[in-house]
Chains A and B, each alone.
Chain A
Amino acid sequence: MDNVINSIGIIIYTTLLYTPPLLFAALGSCFSENSGVVNIGIEGMMTIGAFIGATVGHFTGMPWISFLCGGLAGALFGALHALATGKLNADQTISGTAINFLAPGVAILLAKALFNSSDTVPLAPAEKIPLLLNGVFSGGTVWDNFFKNVLTNYATTYLVFIAVLVVWFVFYRTKFGLRLRACGEHPAACDTLGINVLGIRFFSVCMSGFLAGLGGASVTMATMNQFRPTSIVGQGFIAIAAVIFGKFRPQGAMWACLLFGMCSGLKIVLGSNSVISAQLISMIPFVVTVIVLILFVGRSHVPAANGKPYIKSK
Chain B
Amino acid sequence: MGISPIAAYQRLITGAFGSTRYLSYCIVYATPLIFTGLAVAFSFRTGVFNIGAEGQFVVGSMAACVVGILVPAPSIVLIPLCFLVAALAGALWGVIVGFLKTRFGINEVLSMIMFNWIAFYLSNYIADLDIIHSTGSAEATKNVADAAMILLPKGLIDGLSLAPKANWGIFLAIIATVIVYVVINKTTTGYELKAVGFNRSAAEYGGINVNRSILLALAISGALAGIGGATQLLGQGGRISIFTAQENFGFQGISVALIGASNPVGVFFAGLFYGALKYGGTKLNLIQAPSEVIDIITGTVVFFIAISHIFRIRVRKGGRQHG
Contact = CB atoms under 8 A, between A and B. Distances in A.
B305 A94 contact: yes
Interface in B117-144: 117-118, 121-122, 124-125, 128
Interface residues of A, number: 49
Interface string A252-292: 00000000000000000000000001011011001101100
A30 to B, nearest CB: 15
Given A88-B307, A97-B255, A109 B121 contact: no
Given A90-B307, A293-B110, A101 B296 contact: yes
A113 B292 CA distance: 11
Interface string A231-266: 001100110110011000000000000000000000
A100 B250 CA distance: 13
A58 B111 CA distance: 38
A294 interface: yes
Interface string A99-141: 1111111101100110000000000000000000000000000
Contacts of A104: 292, 295
B171 interface: no
B12 to A, nearest CB: 15
A84 B124 CA distance: 38
A293 B106 contact: yes
Given A90-B306, A233-B245, A279 B125 contact: yes
Contacts of B1: 112-113
A95 interface: yes
A84 B306 contact: yes
Interface in B274-316: 290, 292-296, 298-300, 302-303, 305-307, 309-310
Nearest to B111: A290
Given A88-B310, A112-B292, A283-B121, A294 B104 contact: yes
A237 B295 CA distance: 19
Interface residues of B, number: 45
A98 B100 contact: no
B113 interface: yes
B103 to A, nearest CB: 9
Interface stretch (A2-10, A180-188, A197-205, A295-303): A295-303
B121 A279 contact: yes
Chain B interface secondary structure, helix, strand, loop or mixed? helix
Interface in A177-235: 230, 233-234
A103 B302 CA distance: 13
A106 B297 CA distance: 10
B307 A93 contact: no
A94 B51 CA distance: 12
B51 to A, nearest CB: 8
Given A97-B258, A283-B118, A286-B118, A241 B110 contact: yes
A302 B107 CA distance: 9
Contacts of A279: 121-122, 124-125, 128
A11 to B, nearest CB: 20
Nearest to B296: A105
Interface in B172-192: none
B110 A244 contact: yes
Contact of A233 (B110, B246, B307): B246
Identify the 4 closest CB pairs spanning chains A and B, nearest first: A105-B295, A102-B299, A101-B299, A299-B105
Given A99-B303, A279-B125, 6 more contacts: A90-B309, A91-B306, A100-B251, A101-B295, A105-B299, A233-B244
15 contacts: A84-B307, A90-B306, A93-B49, A109-B293, A112-B1, A113-B290, A234-B246, A244-B110, A277-B128, A286-B121, A290-B111, A293-B110, A294-B104, A294-B106, A297-B106
